[in-house]
């Protein structure tokens, strides 16, 4: 376990922190409406990057989104807003 932790980068920790925040927000409001979602304009080549940063895929509308209220989302996702 300690060997695993020593190999983590700052980016790995940031990713995990963003993911946990988004998951908590998504769980809190299980009935998210479109007004709670901020849809992103993500080209296919960027899908892994937005996922890594904590965005979610809405299979109904086939778009990536973040949840309104996610702090620093303008900095993290500015490329796709």
pLDDT in tens, 24-48: 666 554 556 667 889 999 999 999 9
Q: Is the pTM of this model over 0.85?
A: no
The total number of structural domains in the chain stands at 1
| Whether 55 contacts 64, CB under 8 Å | yes
- Round to whole Å and give the CA distance between 51 and 26: 14
Query: Which tokens hold the place of 79?
Result: 């490329």
Strand partners, 63: 58
12: pLDDT confidence band, cut at 50, 70 and 90? low
pLDDT in tens, 43-71: 999 999 998 888 888 888 999 998 877 77
- Round to whole Å and give the CA distance between 23 and 16: 10
Domain of residue 16, residue span? 2-80
């Amino acid at each position: 376990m300690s060997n695993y932790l020593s190999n983590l980068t700052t980016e790995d920790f940031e990713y995990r922190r963003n993911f946990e925040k988004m998951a908590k927000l998504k769980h809190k409001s299980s009935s998210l409406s479109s007004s709670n979602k901020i849809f992103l304009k993500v080209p296919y080549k960027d899908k892994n990057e937005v996922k890594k940063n904590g965005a979610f895929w809405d299979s109904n509308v086939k778009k990536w989104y973040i949840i309104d209220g996610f702090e620093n989302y303008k900095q993290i996702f500015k490329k796709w807003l």
